[in-house]
Structure 1
Amino acid sequence: MLPERDLRAGLLLPLRFVVVLLLVVAPAMASTVTAETQQSHPPLAAQAELSSQAQHPLGQASESEMLLRMVALENRRPPAIWRTMSTLDTGLVHLVGRLKVTGGVPRELRGKPLLMAANHIGVFDAFVLIAACKHLGIAPRFLLAGGLLDAPVLGPALRASGHLRIDRGKASAVEQFGQAVEAMRTTSSPIIVYPEGRISHDPGLWPERGKTGAARLALAAGVPVIPISQWGAHEAVYWGTEKVNGPADLLPLARSGFTAPLRRPTFRVHFGAPVDLSDVDAQRPGAGVRAHAKIMRAITAGLVPLRASEPDRPKFHDPTRPTDTVSPWRPGA
């Protein structure tokens, strides 16, 4: 459910990780993030809440209760490698452009199972999403295509970070979907998915029709869905190419990526209100389709104000991105 095809992603993501390491060595170039939030969400609120509980006198809690609190705190903390990667990621995003975050995750949903569904506009938008989540004090996990987790260099790091695996089109996908449902029910970290399954091919970069997997996952697990709308990340790095046959195929991606800090694009991310799926009966045929439509419309509704000055086609022209589909969700469609 994440970027493009496994082969392309498996080859490109290690390169992107190297770019991260190269760029963050120049933190002096990073600018202050401009963050606009509609409501206050103190960073690491969940950890702070547990820490305040742990400050109670030992006499008020049994040894087993204290142990349970310690285990709960550890379970709510992301793995150290993921905290390190997200810190590097945030440094890169701040270096490349300006991050503006609106909306947020309601306090009552923090530290509980939660699905976050985002539109997919470019190869850099996952980096922007991670930085936006870090700004809100949450550490999400991704539902990733198997090729990403098997990629050299980056694959082991992603597996150690606790991201979930799904092999599309394989017999194991059914079993892994069941595992993802169980993980959704028990995790305290939000899980991010791209319902479209790939970067949009719509000429206006509006969300594609997408797939129902994210909606079916939310219905099966019985978890709330937060729609995430984003705009601007497509200006950081070109789409590139479907198949990588050699270094020359990576040049457009590399050129656009290294010139992005000079262009300083603005990355806008909006966290919308939870999607109301109360009227969708998970046991009835077509439930996944109906829930998917609700999620995609919520994402699109949040996207409209983010790109108010670009209602038709993006001002930034990416000559490498295919434009062979038409979005059914775009306003007026």
Structure 2
Amino acid sequence: MENKSLPVPLMWRLMLALSRLVVFPLCRLRVSGQIPGQLRGRAVILAANHVSPFDPIVMTAACHKAGVAPRFLATGGIFDAPIAGAAMRAAGHIRVDRNTTHVADALPAAAEALRDGAMVLIYPEGRIGLDPWMWPERGKTGVARLAAMSGAPVLPVAQWGAHAVFPYDTPKNLLRSTLRAMRRRPVVQVRFGDAPVGLPAATGNTGAQAMKATRLIMDGIDETLIHLRAGEMETPHVVDTTRTPDYSRVRPRPDRATHP
């Protein structure tokens, strides 16, 4: 599990292996798809949907199972924690200080990692999605801008079911959620996309390019997620009642009548 250009830090190797042990008693992890052969050992942006506070641990375990070790863009609060922050820095992850004047610093840092040959994972929604039907909501343009800065391809990744382990309002009622998950061990799925998103050639102004590319990236995540949501294309089987739906970032989809 080592990139040809950028060695994987020991701390990150340990965290990847440990994630499998953390996930096992809480859920049954199912990983499908695979990183296309031509993308292994090179700079790649993994763009994933976000449904639960448990997602990063699930994604870490899925990446370990898939044999890849992407650097995560993670919220700055984690880096400020005494133990977790030190581990995140030692693992080579990239800090994102949302809603501050330093938020823009994350993209150059991620672009530098990509130029060094790293694989980078980002949640383009920028938060746990609040789409009423739990489909990916309208994405931020950061992934598209990072792809333009670095020239790295964007591979969609879909995950589903982590909300049945830890709901939106975690860490509230954390013990209750943990015990319930250990008793039920719900299925949590991660699927790697079949191919990178076909991004448009650079035409028009930069903002318009980024918005168009973002729509294509979110569509790619949608198409990957469809494979995981058989039988629950509309209302999810597990409804997270702690989420307050936000209609302001619902993405228009031509198949909304069939798939919400």
TM-score (norm 1): 0.71
What amino acid is the match of 1:316? Answer: V
CA shift for structure 1 position 283: 6.1
What amino acid is the match of 2:182? Answer: P
Q: Tell whether 2:117 aligns with 1:194.
A: no
Distance 1:92 1:285 in 2: 41
**Stretch of structure 1 that moved more, 255-264 or 120-129:** 255-264
Aligned partner of 1:209 among 138, 144, 147: 138
Going from structure 1 to structure 2, the CA distance change for 1:172 and 1:123 (only over 3 Å counts) comes to closer
User: Which residue of the partner structure matches residue 53 of structure 2?
Assistant: 123
User: Which residue of the partner structure matches residue 141 of structure 1?
Assistant: 71
CA shift for structure 1 position 263: 0.8
User: Which residue of the partner structure matches residue 287 of structure 1?
Assistant: 209
Q: Deviations over 1:54-84 (max 9, x none)?
A: xxxxxxxxxxxxxxxxxx6xx42x2222212
* Structure 1 stretches lacking a partner, 5+ long: 1-43, 51-71, 242-249
Going from structure 1 to structure 2, the CA distance change for 1:176 and 1:140 (only over 3 Å counts) comes to closer
Aligned partner of 1:262 among 183, 196, 208: 183
The structure with the largest helix share of the pair is 1
What amino acid is the match of 1:256? Answer: S
CA shift for structure 1 position 297: 0.2
- Paired residues of 2:96 and 2:105 also in contact (CA < 8 A): no
User: Which residue of the partner structure matches residue 33 of structure 2?
Assistant: 103
Q: Deviations over 1:155-202 (max 9, x none)?
A: 1111111001222333333344223222221133x1110001111112
What amino acid is the match of 1:150? Answer: D
In the alignment of these two chains, the number of paired residues is 254
Distance 1:181 1:101 in 2: 27
User: Which residue of the partner structure matches residue 223 of structure 1?
Assistant: 152
TM alignment of 1:1-333, pairs within 5 A: 44=1, 75-76=6-7, 78-188=8-118, 190-240=119-169, 250-272=171-193, 273-281=195-203, 284-325=206-247, 327-328=250-251, 331-332=255-256
- Paired residues of 1:98 and 1:266 also in contact (CA < 8 A): yes
Distance 1:301 1:126 in 2: 21
Distance 1:274 1:179 in 2: 22
CA shift for structure 1 position 311: 1.1
TM-score (norm 2): 0.90
Distance 1:268 1:313 in 2: 17
Going from structure 1 to structure 2, the CA distance change for 1:175 and 1:130 (only over 3 Å counts) comes to closer
CA shift for structure 1 position 251: 4.3
Of the two structures, which has the highest relative contact order with CA contacts closer than 8 Å and spacing of 6 or more? Answer: 2
User: Which residue of the partner structure matches residue 64 of structure 1?
Assistant: none
Distance 2:65 2:212 in 1: 32
Distance 1:251 1:178 in 2: 35
Distance 1:89 1:95 in 2: 11
Distance 1:292 1:259 in 2: 37
What amino acid is the match of 2:189? Answer: R
Secondary structure at the aligned position of 1:228 is classed as strand
What amino acid is the match of 1:309? Answer: G
What amino acid is the match of 1:287? Answer: Q
Q: Quote the RMSD (CA, aligned, Å).
A: 2.1
Going from structure 1 to structure 2, the CA distance change for 1:175 and 1:251 (only over 3 Å counts) comes to closer
